[in-house]
Chains A and B, each alone.
Chain A
Amino acid sequence: MNKFSLVWSNLFRRKVRTFLTLFSVLVAFLLFALLRTVVVAFEGGVELAGVDRLNVSPKYSIIDPLPVSHRNEILNVEGVTAISQQSWFGGSYQSPTNFFPKFPVRPREYFQMYSELIIDPAQLEAFENNRIGAVVPAAMAEQFEWRLGDRIPIEGDIYIKRDGNKLWEFELVGTYETPDSAFLSSAFLFNYDYFNEAIPEQMQGIVSWFTIRVENPDEAAEVAARIDAVFENSRNPTRSATEAEFTRQFASQLGDIGLMMNGILSAVFFTILLLTANTMSQAFRERIPELAVLKTFGFTDFSVSALVLAESIMLCALGGALGIGLAALVSGAIAPVVESLLGSFQLTVTTMASGMAIAVLLGVVVGLVPAISANRLQIVDALRK
């Protein structure tokens, strides 16, 4: 026997209570790891974005479209070398749960802009020349078992055809390779011209945002300011920002993801803090005479309080490790589904390490009061209890 096994044995003195507490801590850290993975997945797009590209979006909300006529004025701004355009199409394939971004684009300029996306030149040409042609990430084609030549029906929700038909049909003419974590650039792409002609006349000539390439990345801020100045007093003012900031804004249309997740986690951890603190307090109170007996043998005040604190840390660390381990299994299992939405869903080493650090910290916080009480325990008084 050593001090570790002494702490371990004490931990399982009341098995049911310990297992229930352990399970609660496990669930808290399972939630922590999964929710942090969601946040990281959202931030993944932010990190990918390059600083040599800027997005020009409506100043107030991406729900407000921009007129396509802005593109020529933007191209005329000093420092802008290329432009592409995208519109948020919405829509769903078979079921709303099959969610992936769908953009009407101008094919060649889009792939020139997103040079990290790899497409076969012949397929790009086919995409340009086929009015209802569409290209998708290879992973998406694999997920939905689409083959070249397949007709893919998409039910429109934001955009309905001018004849009132909600159903849009596309022909798969190519696939492209995309980095794992790209969300907005891992989209179902189809021809803007087809889109623009098919929608009602009053909706034609609009885009959701432009992407531009700047001549000198060091002057990106100045270029952004110049573009916004051009449209400052127009009916459609713009906000030019790096893609990183744009992705954050896009995600924030759903709400502040980080804030929401942190709010949930704070509530979970506060509850766990109270629960675990209660368990440790009970465990301490039950053992006051035993701790006093340890002191009679010659255990110092410090070593007795260290045993109490170690027990608390062990409980939380064990629960944390089990929760994070389970999260690794769960995230691996659901990754194929979630990645179609978020681009990437990988439990990172940083998340695991921060989870374990929080678990240890939780153990310290929860065990601190009992440990101090154990330190101050007077043998004679405690033996009377």
Chain B
Amino acid sequence: MAIVSLSNVEKRFTKGREVVEVLHGIDLEIAEGDFIALMGPSGSGKTTLLNLIGGIDQPTAGSVVVAGQELVGLSSKKLAQWRAENIGFIFQFYNLLPVLTAQRNVELPLLLTRLSGKQRKRNADVALQIVGLEDRARHKPGELSGGQQQRVAIARALVADPKVLVCDEPTGDLDRDTADEILGLLEILNKEHGKTIIMVTHDPKAASHARHTLHLDKGLLVEAVT
């Protein structure tokens, strides 16, 4: 069953007088529980496609259905509510709040739920346990290594139990060994926790951890490698 279904999706940007066509009629289906690596050269439209699936951008044309919800035409408020329930984001540069401890960073998405403070803290601790950082809960991002910060970011993406994790170059800022650890963690989340993962990467080795790899070039899906 497809958790992501894109139909004839187009995306155009206007830069001054110039119209830049980023995606040209993308058709794509991703099955629930899949782990997809999205590869392609710079400017091919990988991140734009990821943003459309994550509900933080809207296509110029076409249909984007994720987790059973048509995202095109949804209001900003409804999209925000939908993201809170369905999507976990993992970024290349972690994007943790430097003033908060690891535990509080992980707890952030739960502020939008009706959970009690105690329950929020407990869920955040569980998420940190999953990524193996329970002993660093009280550390601030500045006191953690890059790999540890990305683990905190993964715990934050997980904590609200979303169906889909969208990852934009999650290992792009890490050394090889640390990147392998993070990719291993994503594999566990996919296999053991059933999360659907869509990961943008330049790195073929990173892509090898995924079940499927999609290639984008000049706004078109050119091949799909299983």
Contact = CB atoms under 8 A, between A and B. Distances in A.
Interface of A: 1-3, 5-6, 9-10, 12-13, 289-290, 293-302, 379-380, 383
Given A1-B120, A298-B81, A383 B91 contact: yes
Kindly state the interface size class of chain B when it binds its partner: 20 to 34
Contacts of B130: none
A380 B11 CA distance: 13
B80 A299 contact: yes
Given A295-B80, A296-B89, A297-B89, A9 B108 contact: no
25 contacts: A1-B120, A2-B111, A5-B104, A6-B100, A6-B108, A6-B111, A9-B97, A10-B99, A290-B95, A290-B97, A295-B56, A296-B54, A296-B83, A297-B84, A297-B89, A297-B160, A298-B83, A298-B84, A299-B112, A300-B76, A300-B80, A301-B76, A301-B80, A379-B51, A380-B51
A1 B107 contact: yes
A3 to B, nearest CB: 6
Given A296-B89, A380-B57, A9 B84 contact: no
Which of A293, A296, A301: most chain B CB closer than 10 A?
Answer: A296
B13 to A, nearest CB: 10
Give chain A's interface secondary structure class.
helix
Given A3-B111, A10-B97, A296-B83, 8 more contacts: A9-B97, A12-B99, A295-B56, A297-B84, A297-B89, A297-B109, A297-B160, A380-B57
Contacts of B109: 297-298
Which of B54, B85, B112: most chain A CB closer than 10 A?
Answer: B112
Interface in B44-97: 51, 54, 56-57, 76-77, 80-85, 87, 89, 91, 95, 97
Contacts of B104: 1, 5, 9
A1 B57 CA distance: 30
Contact of B99 (A3, A9, A296): A9
Nearest to B156: A297
A301 B81 contact: no
Contact of A380 (B56, B91, B111): B56
A2 B83 contact: no
Contacts of B57: 379-380
A13 B141 CA distance: 13
B80 A13 contact: no
A294 B91 CA distance: 13
Interface of B: 51, 54, 56-57, 76-77, 80-85, 87, 89, 91, 95, 97-100, 104, 107-109, 111-112, 117, 120-121, 160
Given A1-B104, A2-B117, A293-B91, A300 B97 contact: no
A383 B169 CA distance: 13
Given A380-B56, A380-B57, A289 B95 contact: yes
Contacts of B76: 300-301
B160 to A, nearest CB: 8
B29 to A, nearest CB: 24
Which of A297, A379, A383: most chain B CB closer than 10 A?
Answer: A297
A114 to B, nearest CB: 63
B87 to A, nearest CB: 8
Contacts of A297: 83-84, 89, 108-109, 112, 160
A13 B111 contact: no
A13 B99 contact: yes
A76 to B, nearest CB: 80
Which of A9, A13, A379: most chain B CB closer than 10 A?
Answer: A379
Contacts of A2: 111, 117
Nearest to B113: A298
A17 to B, nearest CB: 13
Contacts of B85: 298
Contacts of A290: 95, 97
B19 to A, nearest CB: 17
A293 B107 CA distance: 14
A6 B107 CA distance: 11
Contacts of A301: 76-77, 80
A300 B77 contact: yes
Identify the 4 closest CB pairs spanning chains A and B, nearest first: A298-B84, A297-B109, A379-B56, A9-B99
A299 B80 CA distance: 6
Contacts of B97: 9-10, 290, 293
Contacts of A3: 111
A294 B107 CA distance: 12
A383 B50 CA distance: 13
B117 A1 contact: yes
A6 B112 CA distance: 13
B117 A298 contact: no
B15 to A, nearest CB: 12
A294 B108 contact: yes
B204 to A, nearest CB: 25
A350 to B, nearest CB: 37
Contacts of B121: 1
